Chains A and B, each alone.
Chain A
Amino acid sequence: MSAATSGLPPLLRHAGWVLRGNPVTALAMLGTALLVLLALLAPWLVPYDPIASNVRMAMQPPSAAHWFGTDQLGRDILSRLLMGARLDLAIAASAVGLSFVVGAVVGAFCGYQGGWLDRAVGRGVDVLMAFPLFVLAMAMVAALGNRVENIVYATAIINLPFYIRFARTEVAVRRQAGWVEAARAAGHGRAGVVLGFLLPNILPNIAVQISLNLGWAILNAAGLSFLGLGITAPTPEWGIMVAEGARFITAGQWWLVAFPGLALMLAVLCFNLLGDGLRDILDPRMRT
């Protein structure tokens, strides 16, 4: 549609305007970009091998040689952190992408159409929501096997009901909107109305959810590996790093936990702030 092409320059202008008025969003964008960049370039940036152990250098506090210190096997925490970013971001992004695509489309059709399909999907969602979600993820990873892709599926499935419900309600409130009826009068069928009109209109709201959800997905994946599920020991991953460091916290060796914890926090923080900022940028009603 030419809406995109004719809308693009104003969108950019609007984005610039929002960012100037809202430095926190700009900062979050910058942070997210930096995070993604670091993750992508990690193999070339790491100062030490993130997996090879060096017992002589074990448990070094932060120093000039090891900025974030070393762990109980003498591995450089900074190097493990950078490589871990790669894994955690990839898991979160693919899980959220999967549940978004499936959930938004299914939810939008259910919300638009109602009827038996809506009721059946609604029941299924009820079942999923009646599970303690984190426990469901634990059980699924345990059932499917300790592999990275299973963390992705588990995270995607526990996010799915959320997207379905969200898209469903967002579409249901717009189903009777004048512009939807106008689209039908203009000759669009069901698929055309849902995919061409309703989904693009709920996208800003979903984008906000996606951004927030990326944060949860990271916490979720890290939580699973903290419990020893999904990702196994030598792999550098933030949750495992916290789990390994947990034993030493009562002895005062804080850096094993603090740095991966901080990395988790910053990543989630960036995504959350980005979500709030995105809403302002993507909503054309905010544009003038």
Chain B
Amino acid sequence: MTTPLLSVEDLRVSFSTRRGTVEALRGVSLALPAGGVLGLVGESGSGKSVTSLAVMGLLDRAGRVTGGRIRFDGRDITRAGPRELRGLRGAEISMVFQNPRAALNPIRRVGEQIAEVLRAHRPLTGAEARKQAVELLEAVRIRDAARRAQAFPHELSGGMCQRIVIAMAMACAPRLILADEPTTGLDVTTQKAVMDLLATLTRERGMAMLLVTHDLGLAAQYCDQVAVMEQGRIVESAPPAALFGTPRHAYTARLVAACPRRDSTIASLTPEAPPRPAAAPRKAPAPGTSPPGTPLLLEVQNLAKRYPDGTVAVDDVSFTLQPGESLGLVGESGSGKSTVSRLVTRLLDPSGGRILFEGGDIGGIPARDFHRAPQRRGVQIVFQDAGESLNPRFTAFDSIADPLRTLDGLRDGAALQRKVEDCAEDVGLPRALLDRFPHQLSGGQRARVGIARALAIEPRLLVLDEPTAALDVSVQAVVLQLLDRLRRERGLGYLFVSHDLNVVRMLCERVIVLRQGRIVEQGESTRLLHAPAEAYTAELVAAIPHFDPSAAPQAAVACS
């Protein structure tokens, strides 16, 4: 057997923090042959990014390699000095980072930044380096490369910035590329374009790639070997087909199940049955149960939102929602989906159109006065980042009690106490956590507080604005199950805003696809996902990374 290009043996890394030493890696071993693609997947805090940074020697001051060995091309680089690392970085091993805009120097032209990398490793004149930089920009498929080389990062889109980082990483033809969440934060269609580019270029140039990601679908599609990390250890490593088809480790199985795919259902997201199995099966949800003649829960007619600077966020959007129905609102960033959610919850004033809630026009009530309107109780919202949507100075108890105090006029006392505890129990939040502040809760617990707060005053319509976007998949699975159960138990109407078609399909009967503020397509969700009528919807569906055990991983790349 030949020596692998990169081999990591029993690597241990710890960080010294104010509260003592924290072990981030507890014996990680992996091997990557020349030209191979290894996926490193795991949830937040699993140590996957630390592994890639340790290989690069880029751990911050607090981090230290306490044991193990990193070999590159047979050479031990575990404790390489600055000089040795400088020769290695960029020339032999290079890295592509998450958040490409921040990864580029904001005040230098992108062409200069690429040329600088070239000159750091090769004896080139300035003019030669600039010429090669433009060629590299062309190689990462940037049109009009000579002009783009003069641009500053803020003048380019996120996807474009990531191409530039890729160009920098490839500049000196390294033999190994470490890609640390290279597409997180990018839209799904951009993500596909960037990943295809990265995969094609590394394959054409015979580079090996270590792809660090939280997205199992992404790893399955682009890697020929996938390693799963949990709490600083690799629990399982196998080719994607085997790993996702027949996971051997319990954690892998849980992770694979939690990851929404084309055929998963809410119930199948967790291997074991949900904590409180609902009585009614998924097939008999609320919408059919509302007797004819009941007014619509929500009717939106020709809704528009224009800003004074001329941008049109929402343009002529109309839809209806039955009591107890769940409607998905899907789109990429800038599609106006969050604006619609703010307009419907009456946190933002529309520039045109009507919003009818249970037959009453609420669009006409100014947002600043809506807190006094009786419908305030009826329409509530759950926000995207639960951590950011909880008042940092409120305990969980206060956050849940807040709407009860303002809208129900409840005073501190036994009644309020009981009510808040009931709410917490409904969303599965242990009573002991009610005294905690948001920063003392985990992501999933914060999401539960956010949901409990929205449900405390028993609204009829709940707007969910990407409620699980900031959560790990296993937490997302549990929260989705909770939301589905609550809806069926209470006959709530959901307006579910998300960028993830798979999630929307599971939770919603109908889906609306938005693009640049306009409705592209709407219809029954399973139909829309399997037989989209519009080209844009089809593109969205195709861009979702998925693992299909039967398909060879390279097939998806080849067609790009």
Q: Do A and B touch (CB < 8 Å)?
A: yes
User: Which A residues lie at the B interface, using CB under 8 A?
Assistant: 1-3, 6-7, 21, 177-179, 181-190, 192, 197, 200-201, 284-285, 287-288
- Can you report 6 residue pairs joining A to B where beta carbons are below 8 Å apart? A1-B398, A179-B388, A184-B367, A186-B402, A187-B406, A188-B371
Contacts of B377 in A (CB 8 A): 187
Shortest Cβ distance from residue A119 to the other chain B in the assembled complex, whole angstroms: 14
Shortest Cβ distance from residue B464 to the other chain A in the assembled complex, whole angstroms: 12
**Are the C-beta atoms of A185 and B380 separated by less than 8 Å?**
yes
Contacts of A288 in B (CB 8 A): 19, 439-440
**Are the C-beta atoms of B407 and A177 separated by less than 8 Å?**
no
Interface 9-residue window, one of B141-149, B389-397, B507-515:
B389-397
Residue-wise interface mask of B (412-453) relative to A, using a CB-CB cutoff of 8 A (1 in contact, 0 not) = 100000000000000000000001010110000000001001
Residue-wise interface mask of B (333-346) relative to A, using a CB-CB cutoff of 8 A (1 in contact, 0 not) = 00000000010010
- Kindly state whether residue B213 has any CB partner on chain A within 8 Å: no
- Kindly state whether residue B372 has any CB partner on chain A within 8 Å: yes
The CA of A68 and the CA of B385, in the complex, are separated in Å by 61
The CA of A189 and the CA of B368, in the complex, are separated in Å by 7
- Kindly state whether residue B383 has any CB partner on chain A within 8 Å: yes
Contacts of B401 in A (CB 8 A): 2
**Are the C-beta atoms of B395 and A6 separated by less than 8 Å?**
yes
**Are the C-beta atoms of A190 and B381 separated by less than 8 Å?**
no
Q: Which of A178, A184, A284 contacts B371 (CB 8 A)?
A: A184
- Kindly state whether residue B26 has any CB partner on chain A within 8 Å: no
Contacts of A6 in B (CB 8 A): 395, 397, 435
Q: Which of B18, B19, B345, B395 contacts A185 (CB 8 A)?
A: B345
Contacts of B392 in A (CB 8 A): 179, 201, 284-285
The CA of A70 and the CA of B316, in the complex, are separated in Å by 83
**Are the C-beta atoms of A2 and B439 separated by less than 8 Å?**
no
Contacts of A181 in B (CB 8 A): 342, 347, 381, 383, 389
Q: Which of A186, A189, A190, A284 contacts B453 (CB 8 A)?
A: A186
Tell me whether A185 and B381 are in contact in the complex, defined as CB-CB below 8 angstroms, given that A1-B398, A284-B437 are known contacts: yes
**Which residues of B from 344 to 381 have beta carbons under 8 Å from A?**
345, 347, 367-372, 376-377, 379-381
Shortest Cβ distance from residue B463 to the other chain A in the assembled complex, whole angstroms: 9
The CA of A139 and the CA of B155, in the complex, are separated in Å by 48
**Are the C-beta atoms of B372 and A189 separated by less than 8 Å?**
yes
The CA of A1 and the CA of B4, in the complex, are separated in Å by 62
Total A-B contacts with CB atoms under 8 angstroms apart? 95
Residue of A nearest to B370 (CB): A184
Tell me whether A179 and B389 are in contact in the complex, defined as CB-CB below 8 angstroms, given that A185-B380, A185-B381 are known contacts: yes
Q: Which of B372, B393, B399 contacts A284 (CB 8 A)?
A: B393
- Kindly state whether residue B454 has any CB partner on chain A within 8 Å: yes
Shortest Cβ distance from residue B396 to the other chain A in the assembled complex, whole angstroms: 10
Contacts of A186 in B (CB 8 A): 402-403, 406-407, 453
The CA of A187 and the CA of B342, in the complex, are separated in Å by 15
Q: Which of B368, B384, B393 contacts A200 (CB 8 A)?
A: B393
Contacts of B407 in A (CB 8 A): 186-187
**Are the C-beta atoms of A2 and B383 separated by less than 8 Å?**
no
Contacts of B345 in A (CB 8 A): 185
**Are the C-beta atoms of B376 and A201 separated by less than 8 Å?**
no
Given contacts A187-B406, A285-B392, 11 further A-B contacts (CB under 8 A): A2-B398, A3-B395, A6-B395, A178-B385, A183-B402, A184-B367, A185-B380, A189-B368, A189-B369, A201-B393, A287-B439
Residue of B nearest to A177 (CB): B388
**Are the C-beta atoms of A187 and B368 separated by less than 8 Å?**
no
The CA of A284 and the CA of B438, in the complex, are separated in Å by 9
Shortest Cβ distance from residue A194 to the other chain B in the assembled complex, whole angstroms: 12
The CA of A177 and the CA of B390, in the complex, are separated in Å by 9
Residue of B nearest to A283 (CB): B392
Contacts of A179 in B (CB 8 A): 388-392
Contacts of B369 in A (CB 8 A): 189
The CA of A45 and the CA of B89, in the complex, are separated in Å by 69
The CA of A287 and the CA of B370, in the complex, are separated in Å by 36
**Are the C-beta atoms of A185 and B347 separated by less than 8 Å?**
yes
**Are the C-beta atoms of B439 and A184 separated by less than 8 Å?**
no
The CA of A197 and the CA of B393, in the complex, are separated in Å by 8
Tell me whether A201 and B398 are in contact in the complex, defined as CB-CB below 8 angstroms, given that A178-B383, A185-B381, A187-B376 are known contacts: no
Contacts of B406 in A (CB 8 A): 186-188, 192
Residue of B nearest to A190 (CB): B368
The CA of A186 and the CA of B407, in the complex, are separated in Å by 7
